[in-house]
């Protein structure tokens, strides 16, 4: 069909880059090239200069590119040609970058020695060694593969965050939100943990904004020990970790929806919103995908609850005189908490659940059944046939590495930028559950103004069919919405607005939209 | 089971079908020659600009129709035999209905310009128009220049589209200022400047004389009426409004004028035949509305209403307060109630106008000269709440109240700069000088 012309192959393509943009890209590529040389063990005479040069070129390239791309044009939506560019429409460039990212993640997680990570007693080589000077500067120790990754991750969020801010320079919500994720990444994920290490090297690495269950390993024995051994500050961090789950998170989510975390604070969200912005339109909007999403993400949640319970259970004792928290009191506590949440939801929110209730019920029963099993069969930390250790390892491998890293980020150019957040993140599942049922947040639709154009749905990175609600004049109250605000930004008719307001009337399906005969509206809308 | 046949799968026909399905289990067939599935016509521009693919313009997934047992038939009706309640298709087959709804939409106006049927000359309305655009104006190598004739909502959208592919655009507008038959002067002139800022060659008070062909029957240039100037171009967009798409009814017994004539119940002169959307023409216009309303929202509202009538709850089409919206390049426009441009402005209508210094935001509030009653608002670059203005219009608030409570109507995203105080200040100063 003539509409399916492949513009990325066309000579008359007017969506190509300008000369300035090409030179700027080349500068950025050169920075990447220096990193690649290091990866292949090229010895630079001065690593500090080489690293500085590489990172500066990355910064300079993207900043120059963005300036040239956006500052010469008027303020407004800048989606021209998104579906003609190979990069952003699953073309060849997209696939190549997807493959490269995926390989990088596989090496990072499973073969860090290829990046040059020191084997026992040796010095770092290659790419990891190139980052030694920066690591020494920040914390006085040599780099690890995670330091390299953390640095590149932060650089990506900063430079593409800058690009995003220029792209949406007419939209203060987007700008402030992006400054927020840039700040949290740079300060909380990157700098503070390094400084904490300098202050007290016994502390485990702790990105304070990384809340369990996203930070699924936070309550493992070695960390608990390290926290407790590190004295008051360690204990404070441990308590903060627990408080952020049970107090901070519910309050903020009640007031602002899950966006306070997912698109303002979280590191995964930060990368998706900045470096991943070119791919947001690739998320699957079908109802089928939504069904898969609900089953998968809640299964991951059940998995992480079980895994964490089993792990904590495994290192607790039985004797109350030694420590106040024992295996049985811990299991009882978990059981009571889950029952309270489940019962509260069923009693107060039954009407809103109808369809989704079964997911909750099934998850609840699995967890409770396993709790019982743990209680009765906990002789040697074996749960049926699984040891808690193997549960932990398989979670770390399947969810922590494969899902969140390799698929979640490696496949950005194919599945869109929020695959992990949408299908996998257990933290998003918890926040989403609360957002759907106990939150003031919603996206309001503006009376009868929707023209069903589909920009909102197309640019929803979470694959929400926003239009399906907007054209019914119905507010959008969905678990998965991360409140990025792009649907509202791209709407050409001013239909969508992210708001925090009272819980009453938050969900408001209308059959007849505003603008029609008032008698008809009241007849049909009240008959429902 | 009663069989409802709907000619046209646009917003009017589809809304009607959906609502009939909610109210009944009647057999429903939607007929279209244009596309397999319902798509949002207003979104075609985003496909050309590369914001979306054509599939994205389809509001319902393909399984939706079967699941709701709404039959879709692709075919072109060329004859309607109302005596035997039979439709005859170009393809040779027929279809028998119990009730028939004509929702066949519009087609672009052509005013008999010489050369108006050449290759590379077209309107922007249908999916086929979009496909032709890809042939004659795919990029600025094939199409070195384009001319758009007619300064309305589709004209400016087409200008934005061509501009997105770096095709130089000359925009011929008959009026002395863009869309000033509808917009008050201040707004219209702000849009003039905005268009020129986008490097679009806007020619006001300029008419098309004729379109010149090359040897292959394709457009080569156009001639301007006023100056006789010849402008070379590879594409001409005709966007001087639309007219009901009802030529297939000429030989039927259904009474037509410019559109299909209907009463307030959307019934035609023939029993069990109805018309809704762009193609329906009211015997007498409703309030300040036109007798033919070619607007997305009115099409939808007629569909919502007629579904009641067809499902045995005979109901008049009684639209509420007028509203509409559009986007002029980067500037969003919304209107609630009636704000008239110079043309057709009633004597009692007075205006308060505020414009921001950056020349991309302004509002005009219309009120009754004698009673101060709020009549309507145009807002550019500031989003406002439909519900609030609808309520204020019903409550017959006065303009003082509206200006005083303007922040209740704001619908801009969070953290946006607010202008209510500035507007109030201007309002108070204006009143003092009056």
Q: Check whether A205 has a pLDDT greater than 90.
A: no
Enumerate the β-bridge partners of residue B212: B221
Which among A453, A467, A499 is the nearest to B46, CB-wise? A453
Same domain? For B95 and B43 the reply is yes
Q: Concatenated DSSP letters for A197-226?
A: HHH-TTSPP--TT--TTTSTTTTSHHHHHH
In a domain, B318, yes or no: no
Q: Which one of B193, B320, B359, B392 makes the best mutation probe of the A interface by having the most chain A beta carbons within 10 Å?
A: B320
Same domain? For B171 and B63 the reply is no
In a domain, B115, yes or no: no
Q: Check whether A338 has a pLDDT greater than 90.
A: no
Q: Check whether A484 has a pLDDT greater than 90.
A: yes
Q: Which of these three, B286, B310, B334, is where a domain ends?
A: B310
Asked if B415 lies within 8 A of A497 by C-beta distance, the reply is no
Residue ranges in B9-152 assigned as alpha helix (H):
11-23, 44-48, 63-67, 127-136
Q: Check whether A11 has a pLDDT greater than 50.
A: no
Same domain? For B221 and B130 the reply is yes
**Whether the Cβ atoms of residue B26 and residue B312 lie closer than 8 Å to each other:** no
- Confidence label for A378 from pLDDT (cuts 50, 70 and 90): low
Enumerate the β-bridge partners of residue B102: B7, B275
Same domain? For B87 and B129 the reply is no
Q: Which of these three, B207, B240, B273, is where a domain ends?
A: B240
Token pair belonging to A288: 């089928």
Query: Tens of pLDDT along A270-279?
Result: 999 999 999 9
Residues of A in contact with B133 (CB under 8 A): none
* pLDDT value at residue B330: 96
In a domain, B116, yes or no: no
**Whether the Cβ atoms of residue A280 and residue A486 lie closer than 8 Å to each other:** yes
Asked if A515 lies within 8 A of B301 by C-beta distance, the reply is yes
Where residue B138 sits, what CATH number does that domain have? Answer: 3.50.50.60
Same domain? For B146 and B250 the reply is no
* pLDDT value at residue A379: 63
* pLDDT value at residue A509: 75
CA distance A131 to A70: 32
Regarding an ipTM greater than 0.90, the answer is: yes
Enumerate the β-bridge partners of residue B106: B244
In a domain, B91, yes or no: yes
CA distance A387 to A404: 24
Q: Which one of A76, A280, A449 makes the best mutation probe of the B interface by having the most chain B beta carbons within 10 Å?
A: A449
Residue ranges in A80-171 assigned as alpha helix (H):
92-110, 126-130, 132-139, 145-167
- Confidence label for A344 from pLDDT (cuts 50, 70 and 90): confident
Rg, C-alpha atoms of chain B: 23
Query: What domains, with CATH codes, occur in chain A?
Result: 2-73+111-199 (no CATH), 439-527 (3.30.70.20)
* pLDDT value at residue B162: 97
* pLDDT value at residue A9: 39
**Whether the Cβ atoms of residue B181 and residue B343 lie closer than 8 Å to each other:** yes
Residues of B in contact with A453 (CB under 8 A): 40, 42-43, 46, 57
Count of domains forming chain B: 3
**Whether the Cβ atoms of residue B9 and residue B38 lie closer than 8 Å to each other:** yes
Q: Which residue has the higher pLDDT, A7 or A177?
A: A177
Q: Check whether A257 has a pLDDT greater than 80.
A: yes
CA distance B245 to B64: 27
Residue ranges in B225-323 assigned as alpha helix (H):
296-310
CA distance B361 to B344: 24
Asked if A2 lies within 8 A of B131 by C-beta distance, the reply is yes
* pLDDT value at residue A14: 44
Q: Check whether A404 has a pLDDT greater than 90.
A: no
Low-confidence ranges of chain B (pLDDT < 50): 434
Which among B305, B325, B385 is the nearest to A516, CB-wise? B305
- Confidence label for A386 from pLDDT (cuts 50, 70 and 90): low
Rounded to 5°, the CA angle B182-B187-B192 comes to 95
- Confidence label for A10 from pLDDT (cuts 50, 70 and 90): very low
What single-letter DSSP state applies at residue B260? Answer: E
**Whether the Cβ atoms of residue A27 and residue A57 lie closer than 8 Å to each other:** yes
What are the phi and psi torsion angles at B310 (to 5°)?
-65, -30
Residues of A in contact with B11 (CB under 8 A): 452
Residue A510 contacts B where some CB pair is shorter than 8 Å:
no
* pLDDT value at residue A231: 82
B222 to chain A, minimum CA–CA distance in Å?
25
Q: Which residue has the higher pLDDT, A219 or A498?
A: A498
**Whether the Cβ atoms of residue A147 and residue A157 lie closer than 8 Å to each other:** no
Q: Check whether A7 has a pLDDT greater than 50.
A: no
* pLDDT value at residue A527: 58
Same domain? For B256 and B160 the reply is no
CA distance A337 to A358: 19
Same domain? For B343 and B421 the reply is yes
Going from the C-alpha of A47 to that of each of A119, A121, B248, the distances in angstroms are 20, 21, 78
Residues of A in contact with B130 (CB under 8 A): 3
* pLDDT value at residue A317: 80
What are the phi and psi torsion angles at B322 (to 5°)?
-65, 140
Token pair belonging to A158: 């900063």
Token pair belonging to A163: 């690009």
Same domain? For B227 and B253 the reply is no
Q: Check whether A4 has a pLDDT greater than 80.
A: no
Percentage above 70 pLDDT, chain A: 93
CA distance A135 to A138: 5
Same domain? For B265 and B411 the reply is no
- Give contacts of A 257-286 with B, CB under 8 A: 281, 286
* pLDDT value at residue B66: 97
CA distance B59 to B228: 46
- Confidence label for A235 from pLDDT (cuts 50, 70 and 90): confident
Q: Check whether A1 has a pLDDT greater than 50.
A: no
Same domain? For B195 and B271 the reply is no
Q: What is the mean pLDDT of chain B?
A: 96
Kindly give the interhelix angle for A221-229 and A287-315, rounded to the nearest 10 degrees.
60
Torsion angle (degrees, nearest 10) of CA B58, B63, B68, B74: 70
A29-43, A157-171, B83-97: segment of lowest average pLDDT: A29-43
Asked if B316 lies within 8 A of A457 by C-beta distance, the reply is no
* pLDDT value at residue B314: 95
* pLDDT value at residue B229: 96
Asked if B139 lies within 8 A of A12 by C-beta distance, the reply is yes
Q: Which domain holds residue B189?
A: 121-240
CA distance B310 to B4: 9
Residue B165: closest CA among chain A residues belongs to which residue? A14
**Whether the Cβ atoms of residue B98 and residue B2 lie closer than 8 Å to each other:** yes
Same domain? For B231 and B163 the reply is yes
Q: Which of these three, B214, B240, B266, is where a domain ends?
A: B240
- Confidence label for A16 from pLDDT (cuts 50, 70 and 90): confident
In a domain, B113, yes or no: no
Token pair belonging to A228: 């407790």
B108 to chain A, minimum CA–CA distance in Å?
20
Residue A502 contacts B where some CB pair is shorter than 8 Å:
no
Going from the C-alpha of A488 to that of each of A181, A450, B287, B406, B411, the distances in angstroms are 19, 12, 33, 21, 10
Q: Which one of A447, A464, A465, A484 makes the best mutation probe of the B interface by having the most chain B beta carbons within 10 Å?
A: A447
Rounded to 5°, the CA angle A392-A393-A397 comes to 120
Same domain? For B377 and B297 the reply is no
Residue A284: closest CA among chain B residues belongs to which residue? B56
Q: Which residue has the higher pLDDT, A316 or A173?
A: A173
Cα A141 to the chain's mean position, in Å? 29
Q: Check whether A383 has a pLDDT greater than 60.
A: no
- Confidence label for A528 from pLDDT (cuts 50, 70 and 90): low
């Amino acid at each position: 069909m003539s509409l399916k012309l492949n513009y990325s192959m066309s000579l008359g393509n007017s969506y190509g880059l300008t000369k300035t943009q090409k030179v700027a890209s080349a500068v950025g590529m050169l920075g990447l090239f220096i990193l690649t040389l290091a990866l292949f063990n090229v010895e630079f005479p001065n690593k500090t200069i080489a690293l500085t040069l590489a990172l500066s070129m990355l910064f300079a390239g993207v900043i120059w590119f963005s300036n040239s791309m956006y500052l010469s044009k008027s303020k407004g939506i800048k989606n021209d040609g998104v579906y003609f560019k190979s990069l952003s429409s699953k073309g060849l460039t997209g696939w190549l970058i997807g493959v490269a990212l995926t390989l990088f993640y596989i090496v990072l997680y499973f073969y860090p020695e290829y990046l040059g990570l020191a084997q026992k007693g040796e010095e770092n080589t290659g790419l990891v060694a190139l980052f030694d000077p920066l690591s020494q500067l920040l914390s006085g120790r040599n780099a690890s593969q995670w330091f390299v990754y953390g640095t590149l991750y932060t650089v990506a969020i900063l430079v593409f965050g800058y690009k995003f801010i220029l792209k949406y320079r007419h939209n203060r919500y987007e700008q402030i939100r992006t400054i927020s994720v840039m700040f949290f990444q740079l300060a909380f994920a990157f700098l503070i943990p390094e400084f904490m290490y300098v202050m007290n090297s016994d502390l485990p690495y702790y990105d304070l904004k990384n809340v369990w269950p996203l930070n699924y390993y936070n309550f493992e024995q070695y960390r608990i020990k390290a926290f407790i051994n590190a004295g008051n500050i360690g204990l404070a961090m441990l308590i903060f970790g627990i408080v952020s789950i049970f107090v901070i998170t519910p309050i903020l989510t009640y007031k602002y929806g899950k966006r306070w975390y997912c698109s303002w604070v979280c590191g995964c969200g930060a990368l998706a919103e900045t470096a991943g912005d070119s791919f947001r339109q690739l998320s699957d909007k079908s109802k089928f995908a939504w069904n898969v999403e609900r089953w998968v993400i809640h299964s991951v949640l059940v998995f992480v609850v079980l895994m964490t319970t089993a792990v904590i259970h495994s290192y607790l004792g039985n004797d109350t005189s030694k420590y106040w928290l024992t295996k049985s009191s811990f299991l009882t506590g978990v059981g009571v908490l889950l029952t309270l949440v489940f019962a509260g939801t069923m009693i107060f929110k039954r009407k809103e659940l109808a369809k989704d209730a079964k997911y909750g019920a099934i998850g609840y029963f699995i967890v409770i059944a396993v709790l019982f099993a743990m209680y009765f069969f906990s002789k040697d930390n074996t749960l049926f046939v699984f040891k808690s250790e193997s549960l932990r390892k398989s979670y770390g491998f399947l969810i922590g590495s494969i899902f969140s890293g390799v698929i979640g980020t490696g496949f950005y150019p194919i599945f869109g930028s929020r695959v992990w957040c949408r299908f996998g993140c257990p933290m998003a599942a918890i926040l989403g559950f609360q957002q759907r049922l106990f939150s003031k947040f919603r996206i309001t639709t503006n009376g009868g103004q929707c023209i069903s154009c589909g920009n909102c749905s197309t640019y929803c990175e979470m694959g929400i069919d926003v239009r399906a609600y907007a054209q019914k004049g119905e507010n959008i109250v969905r678990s998965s919405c991360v409140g990025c605000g792009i649907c509202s930004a791209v709407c050409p008719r001013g239909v969508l607005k992210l708001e925090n307001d009272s819980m009453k009337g938050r969900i408001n399906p209308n059959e007849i939209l505003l603008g029609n005969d008032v008698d008809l509206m009241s007849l049909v809308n009240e008959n429902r | 089971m009663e069989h409802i046949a709907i000619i046209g799968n646009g917003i009017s026909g589809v809304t009607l079908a959906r609502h009939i399905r909610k109210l009944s289990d009647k057999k429903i067939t939607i007929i279209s020659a244009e596309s397999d599935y319902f798509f949002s016509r207003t979104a075609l521009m985003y496909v050309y600009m590369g914001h979306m693919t054509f599939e994205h313009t389809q509001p319902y997934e393909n399984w939706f129709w079967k699941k709701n047992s709404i039959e879709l038939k692709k075919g072109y009706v060329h004859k309607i035999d109302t005596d035997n309640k039979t439709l005859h298709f170009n393809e040779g087959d027929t279809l028998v209905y119990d009730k028939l709804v004509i929702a066949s939409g519009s087609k672009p106006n052509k005013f008999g310009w010489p050369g108006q049927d050449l290759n590379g000359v077209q309107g922007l309305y249908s999916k086929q128009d979009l496909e032709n655009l890809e042939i004659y104006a795919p990029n600025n190598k094939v199409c070195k220049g384009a001319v758009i004739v007619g300064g309305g909502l589709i004209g400016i959208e087409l200008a934005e589209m061509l501009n997105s592919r770096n095709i130089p655009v000359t925009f011929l507008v008959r009026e002395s200022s863009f869309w000033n038959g509808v917009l008050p002067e201040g707004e219209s002139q702000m849009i003039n400047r905005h268009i020129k800022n986008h490097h679009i060659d806007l020619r006001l008070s300029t008419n098309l004389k004729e379109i010149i062909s090359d040897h292959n029957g394709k457009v080569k240039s156009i001639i301007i009426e006023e100056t006789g100037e010849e402008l070379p171009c590879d594409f001409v967009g005709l966007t001087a409004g639309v007219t009901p798409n009802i030529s297939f009814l000429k030989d039927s017994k259904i009474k037509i004028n410019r559109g299909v004539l209907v009463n307030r119940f959307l019934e035609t002169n023939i029993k069990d035949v109805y018309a809704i959307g762009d193609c329906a023409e009211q015997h007498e216009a409703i309030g300040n509305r036109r007798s033919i309303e070619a607007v997305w929202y009115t099409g939808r509202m007629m569909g919502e209403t007629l579904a009641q009538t067809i499902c045995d709850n005979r109901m008049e089409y009684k639209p509420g307060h007028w509203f509409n919206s559009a986007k002029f390049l980067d500037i969003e426009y919304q209107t609630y109630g009636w704000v008239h441009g110079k043309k057709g402005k009633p004597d009692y209508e007075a205006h308060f106008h505020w414009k921001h210094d950056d020349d991309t935001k302004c509002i005009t509030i219309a009120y009754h000269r004698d009673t101060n009653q709020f009549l309507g608002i145009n807002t550019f670059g500031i989003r406002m709440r439909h519900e609030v203005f609808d309520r204020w219009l019903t409550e017959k608030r006065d303009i003082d109240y509206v200006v005083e409570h303007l922040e209740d109507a704001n619908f801009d995203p969070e953290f946006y700069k607010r202008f209510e105080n500035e507007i109030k200040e201007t309002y108070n100063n204006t009143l003092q000088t009056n």
